Amino acid sequence: MKPTVVDHIGIAVKSIDEALKFWEEALGIHCHGVEEVAEQKVKTAFLPLGDTEVELLEGTSEESPVSKFIAAKGEGIHHLAIRVENLEAALEELKAKGVRLIDEKPRMGAGGAKIAFVHPKASGGVLLELSER
């Protein structure tokens, strides 16, 4: 596996519209699009920041993992995403090493990226997303 860069930092928010007021008006970091990922019951907004991005995540239903996260822990950092060159190979390597995964196969994420999550119990309490763009 060859991680190449921090792809993005995911932040769970109750309202993307409200959160954007801070990010855009206070910090001057502008969103380059809002997208709904129906499969994950989430709406996302990406804000480019150098070689990485901030991803705002808003649950679209009470059953959304993001909505459940906010109910349990409040708004805040939800996950860290690392870009890899070959997601399928990275998952196979992690499985071979006995790393606990949430996703054993890639799925489609926002912006056309292939993604998969490593279980937080395997990565020191951090929900780690692997991303291939």
CA distances from 42 to 57, 85, 86, 95 (A): 6, 25, 25, 27
pLDDT of residue 73: 96
pLDDT of residue 1: 85
Neighbours of 57 (CB within 10 A): 26
CATH number for the domain running over 3-132: 3.10.180.10
For range 16-23, the mean pLDDT: 97
Cα angle value 37/48/40 (rounded, 5°): 15
Residue-wise pLDDT for 42-56, tens only, equals 999 999 999 999 999
Tallying the residues shown for the chain, one arrives at 133
Tokens, residue 114:
């292939």
With 0.85 as the threshold, say if the pTM is over it. yes
Tokens, residue 48:
């480019």
**Burial bucket for residue 110 (CB in 10 Å: 0-12, 13-18, 19+):** buried
